[in-house]
Structure 1
Amino acid sequence: MQQKPNLSFWQIWNMCFGFLGIQFGFALQNGNVSRIFQTLGASIDEIPILWIAAPLTGLLVQPLIGHFSDKTWTKLGRRRPFFLYGAIVTTLALFFMPNSPGLWIAAGMLWILDAAINVTMEPFRAFVGDNLNARQRPMGFSMQSFFIGVGAVVASALPWILTNWFNVANTAPEGQIPDSVKYSFYAGGAVLLLAVLWTVIRSREYSPAQLAEYEKAEMAEPDHQAPVMQPAGSGKTYFHRGWAFVLVGIICLTVVYNWDMDKQLYILGGGLAAFGLLQWLTSWYKTKENYNMVVQIVDDLYSMPITMRRLAVVQFFSWFALFSLWIYTTAAVTATHYGSSDTTSAAYNEGADWVGILFAIYNGFAAIAAILIPVMVRKSSIQLTHSFNLVCGAFGLFGFMWIEDPLMLWIPMIGVGMAWASILSLPYALLADSLPAHKMGVYMGIFNIFIVLPQLLAASILGSLVNHVFDKQAIYALVIGGVSWIIAALYVLRVKTRRLASK
């Protein structure tokens, strides 16, 4: 039986190039949405709740897209139809987002934008797992990180570039988005669509029959160990679990209501109750012997391999730190280093533009780190490399407290860039080798739930912590993120691999 062949450098390049465009959209969203919200009238403690569209969308969309893409085979292939259609909608959303006439319309556009990005982005992870063998997967995911870094450098710096190189207006009357932000979103939409089209046109996919043959060949290898899967629950088990989650959710909602706590905490209680209801629905379907999409996805969630379970913990704490960075860096830097929270002031907008440059800097370092990461893995291991990079990122976030001169804030971005490149590549390299090939898409989608959950938690509690514990000083949200990265760095050392993909 023939094993999955090695692909050439340029074949891997072509299949990863679309991520350049995806990250253009993602970086523009991360670097400017808080600015758009504040410009349209959002207060500092309202920003996390407005960001809730993004994680909720990912929570719903990614497992569904993974499930459907696993079962899709068309003339365009398995994953590429999702790349294409998601990119078209994302481009349209990027064009409309900076023209939102009001705050809640902007929040709704963020929902649409993030849904479309998720439709495009989720299958790209499975695309690498499908097309590359175990030895080449670290390179494939690192190349995705490289394109993410390059795309984000340009996209994050676009408002500053347009202002300083082309004299595009960086300020606007109260309640209006500056032209520098608008034109950045227009350019980002065009780049995203063109980059994804390149991957769609220049890449090919293995058919389901070919993938099945390659999986048989891999299972026949002497050092092969089948993924250790957990047993899925019975209908009765899901019913009892559902009761537990619903009860905890109701208690949480009751406490928040009776104690008049911040409204963001309703997200936490509502999410727990909703997950309980989902398990009740699964239980009911199982009693009717109706093994539909909902049942399959919930079963897959509970039966995921042990390696994936441990990586899920690492992802949770890793992405909690990232959402702290993305949500609060603008507010932290403008208030702490530029001394202004007035969105119409020159100081605030200068600080907001500098945050865009800082985001570009950390993505630039991420692009460099993505080239070095495969070398680091060969010299040590995936786990040690990832742990080291996360620790560097943690000290980068702590640096915002230690450094007073805003012009020196590029230094912490070195560590943040190393952590970002590592988060985007090494957990997926560890994961892909522990998954059954015919469920690569759905498990990649489920894995991204553990990116969504920390954002939901961040939206639920960070606003309350900043508002009540830290006296509205957003800088402390970045410190919390640094602690979260330290936890992830320690836990990744517990993750075991069944094969060294770097051999």
Structure 2
Amino acid sequence: MQKRTLSFWEIWNMSFGFLGIQFGFALQNANTSRIFETLGANVDQIPILWIAAPVTGLVVQPIIGYFSDRTWTRLGRRRPYFLVGAILSSIALFIMPNSPTLWIAAGTLWIMDASINISMEPFRAFVGDNLPARQRTLGFSMQSFFIGIGAVIGSLLPYMFSSWFGISNTAAEGVIPDSVKWSFYVGGIVFFLAVLWTVIRSKEYSPEELAAFEQADKKITPVKETEEERVRNIRNQLYYGIGMFVIGAGVSWYVYANSLTKELYILFVGLIVAGLLFMVTSVLRKQKVKNGFTTIITDMLNMPETMKQLAWVQFFSWFALFSMWIYTTAAVTGHVFGTSDPTSELYNDAADWVPVMFTVYNGVAAAVAFLLPVLARRTSNKVTHLLALCVGGIGLISIYFLSSKAGLLLSMVGVGVAWASILSLPYAMLSGSLPSAKMGYYMGVFNFFIVIPQIVAATILGYLIKEFFSNEPVYALIIGGFAMILSGLLTLRVKTNRKLDIHE
């Protein structure tokens, strides 16, 4: 018993919702820092204001993955989450540009990111559920294509409204320009309609059918834990928890004793909380308590080996991306154009160019989405990902040396190649190692290695820029560029199924 080979248009329909998801995500990434600065945030405050989004994702993603694995309704398995997330995200997109204060904007970002995660997280598992192994690369590439298209239009909207339709891109102090407001309104509508298209036009296999596919496919079989292994895993879980707690508490004390920046508390207090969760789970498992909480925490230790290796690749590549999303506006307005006054015309013209830059890298990602698998067939997924990330890292570093709008667009070409690869090849390498019964959960846990680097970037980069780089945001992009190159090098140590790796 095998999964049916889907037609091009069936894969198109099941991926179309990503057009709306990335439409909203692009508006968030390209304009949130601008909204924060307009509402009075200083450059060194921006990372901490962004921290709510990844923290929310860290909690939401595995929970949504866990429950979507166990959901079956008249609407399906993953599609109920697509729809609920789309409704909530659309509402948040309407509220965000009308935030009267900085803290309301930060809270709305929290809600919006959580809602986007509710829709987005199950989409990765959707490919694994519906497509046979030989079509998964096409499925992830199709998602990358729609991500690129949605992000192009979403990033370009404020510029289009101001340049093409004459809508004002300036406003009084503390007021979001109309060009940004209308962009978010359109984004909310597109988000909902695109996801609704996938919900209506796609079908899903039932849990019984997926179990039958799993039984017929002997490549991935769940390994039953022996009693000896269970005892050892419980002990290791306790040791990991103690280790995280001690490190988190020790560094937090050091931060306090030396009066270091308070943003550092978020990272290491988070480590304390993670340590406590591991220790509590260890105690519960020793008492043979089994529930959703213990399963979610325990399965983090049982990740497939390929997933553990890809975790480091994801960490450094997404650290680089988050440094770009946080600091590009400040780097371009300050380093390239020499202004930091949010009320000036020069600042707003420069800030409007950032969405254009993001449009270019997303457009390049859409253009090369289907070319990367061709290169991978001639080499491998690993080599292709290495080359793409190196090109992207060089693109980020080059911003320091540029002084023109055209040059900034050229730097984004390299980032676009890396972005296309980041959105598809790690998932193609991972998908062959995951059991279908836990596809959603492990895709959610895999997103930890997107979220954790965001938390690290939001807590560490502000401190580094303030203490070592004289509050010059452009240096955050240089750090990000080197992190992306390191990510590419780490790809070479990932062990994958060779047949899946070359997309047979």
Give the TM-score of the pair, scaled to structure 1.
0.97
Distance 1:149 1:168, change over 3 A: same
Structure 2 Cα separation of the partners of residues 90 and 282 of structure 1: 33
For residue 74 of structure 2, what is the amino acid of its counterpart?
K
CA contact (8 A) 1:229 1:306 kept: no
CA contact (8 A) 2:220 2:434 kept: no
Alignment pair present for 1:494 and 2:459: no
Helix, strand or coil at the partner of 2:454: helix
- How far apart are 1:250 and its partner, in Å? 1.1
- How far apart are 1:284 and its partner, in Å? 2.6
- How far apart are 1:203 and its partner, in Å? 0.2
- How far apart are 1:215 and its partner, in Å? 1.5
Unaligned 5+ residue runs, structure 1? none
Q: Which residue of 1 aligns with 2:282?
A: 283
More divergent stretch after superposition (273-282 vs 441-450): 273-282
- How far apart are 1:225 and its partner, in Å? 6.2
Q: What does the per-residue CA deviation read over 1:70-110, in whole Å, with 9 as the maximum and x for residues that have no partner?
A: 00000011000000001000000000011111011110000
Q: What does the per-residue CA deviation read over 1:235-287, in whole Å, with 9 as the maximum and x for residues that have no partner?
A: 44333322221111111111111111111111121111011111122123213
Alignment pair present for 1:317 and 2:320: no
- How far apart are 1:297 and its partner, in Å? 1.0
More divergent stretch after superposition (16-25 vs 403-412): 403-412
Helix, strand or coil at the partner of 1:494: coil
Helix, strand or coil at the partner of 1:135: helix
- How far apart are 1:151 and its partner, in Å? 0.4
- How far apart are 1:356 and its partner, in Å? 0.5
Q: Which residue of 2 aligns with 1:300?
A: 299
Q: Which residue of 1 aligns with 2:48?
A: 49
CA contact (8 A) 1:234 1:286 kept: no
Structure 2 Cα separation of the partners of residues 302 and 242 of structure 1: 12
Structure 1 Cα separation of the partners of residues 220 and 8 of structure 2: 28
Q: Which residue of 2 aligns with 1:249?
A: 248
Q: What does the per-residue CA deviation read over 1:402-461, in whole Å, with 9 as the maximum and x for residues that have no partner?
A: 222133211111110010010000101111110011000000000000101101100111
Structure 2 Cα separation of the partners of residues 99 and 228 of structure 1: 52
Structure 2 Cα separation of the partners of residues 114 and 94 of structure 1: 10
CA contact (8 A) 1:238 1:283 kept: yes
Structure 1 Cα separation of the partners of residues 487 and 223 of structure 2: 23
Q: Which residue of 2 aligns with 1:438?
A: 437
For residue 385 of structure 2, what is the amino acid of its counterpart?
H
Q: What does the per-residue CA deviation read over 1:146-205, in whole Å, with 9 as the maximum and x for residues that have no partner?
A: 000000000001000000111111001001100000100000000000000000000000
Distance 1:443 1:225, change over 3 A: closer
Q: Which residue of 2 aligns with 1:16?
A: 15
For residue 55 of structure 1, what is the amino acid of its counterpart?
P
Structure 2 Cα separation of the partners of residues 216 and 157 of structure 1: 47
More divergent stretch after superposition (242-251 vs 75-84): 242-251
Structure 2 Cα separation of the partners of residues 453 and 227 of structure 1: 27
For residue 398 of structure 1, what is the amino acid of its counterpart?
I
CA contact (8 A) 1:98 1:185 kept: yes
- How far apart are 1:229 and its partner, in Å? 10
Superposed, 1:182-193 pairs within 5 Å as: 182-193=181-192
Structure 2 Cα separation of the partners of residues 456 and 273 of structure 1: 15
CA contact (8 A) 1:54 1:114 kept: yes
Q: Which residue of 2 aligns with 1:69?
A: 68
Distance 1:378 1:227, change over 3 A: farther
CA contact (8 A) 2:220 2:435 kept: no
For residue 43 of structure 1, what is the amino acid of its counterpart?
N
Structure 2 Cα separation of the partners of residues 120 and 375 of structure 1: 30
- How far apart are 1:228 and its partner, in Å? 8.4
Alignment pair present for 1:237 and 2:245: no
Structure 1 Cα separation of the partners of residues 114 and 315 of structure 2: 20
CA contact (8 A) 1:225 1:498 kept: no
Q: What does the per-residue CA deviation read over 1:201-229, in whole Å, with 9 as the maximum and x for residues that have no partner?
A: 0000001111111112221xxxx365889
Query: Across the two proteins, how many residue pairs are aligned to each other?
Result: 498
More divergent stretch after superposition (115-124 vs 338-347): 338-347
Alignment pair present for 1:211 and 2:240: no
Q: Which residue of 1 aligns with 2:177?
A: 178
Q: Which residue of 1 aligns with 2:155?
A: 156
CA contact (8 A) 2:94 2:185 kept: yes
- How far apart are 1:115 and its partner, in Å? 0.3
Structure 2 Cα separation of the partners of residues 315 and 381 of structure 1: 18
Distance 1:336 1:228, change over 3 A: farther
For residue 418 of structure 1, what is the amino acid of its counterpart?
V
**Cα RMSD after superposing both structures:** 1.4
More divergent stretch after superposition (226-235 vs 336-345): 226-235
Structure 2 Cα separation of the partners of residues 372 and 339 of structure 1: 38
Q: Which residue of 2 aligns with 1:101?
A: 100
Q: Which residue of 2 aligns with 1:165?
A: 164
Unaligned 5+ residue runs, structure 2? none
Q: What does the per-residue CA deviation read over 1:12-32, in whole Å, with 9 as the maximum and x for residues that have no partner?
A: 000000000000110000000
For residue 469 of structure 1, what is the amino acid of its counterpart?
F
Structure 2 Cα separation of the partners of residues 347 and 229 of structure 1: 63
CA contact (8 A) 1:366 1:420 kept: yes
CA contact (8 A) 1:252 1:268 kept: no
- How far apart are 1:486 and its partner, in Å? 0.9
Structure 1 Cα separation of the partners of residues 29 and 15 of structure 2: 21
Q: Which residue of 2 aligns with 1:28?
A: 27
Identity of aligned residues (%): 58
Q: Which residue of 2 aligns with 1:86?
A: 85
For residue 412 of structure 2, what is the amino acid of its counterpart?
M
Distance 1:102 1:133, change over 3 A: same
CA contact (8 A) 1:160 1:357 kept: yes
Structure 2 Cα separation of the partners of residues 130 and 499 of structure 1: 21
- How far apart are 1:499 and its partner, in Å? 4.0
- How far apart are 1:300 and its partner, in Å? 1.0
For residue 379 of structure 2, what is the amino acid of its counterpart?
S
Structure 1 Cα separation of the partners of residues 396 and 336 of structure 2: 15
Structure 2 Cα separation of the partners of residues 237 and 375 of structure 1: 42
More divergent stretch after superposition (491-500 vs 324-333): 491-500
Distance 1:229 1:426, change over 3 A: farther
- How far apart are 1:234 and its partner, in Å? 3.9
Q: Which residue of 1 aligns with 2:133?
A: 134
Alignment pair present for 1:330 and 2:336: no
More divergent stretch after superposition (302-311 vs 208-217): 208-217
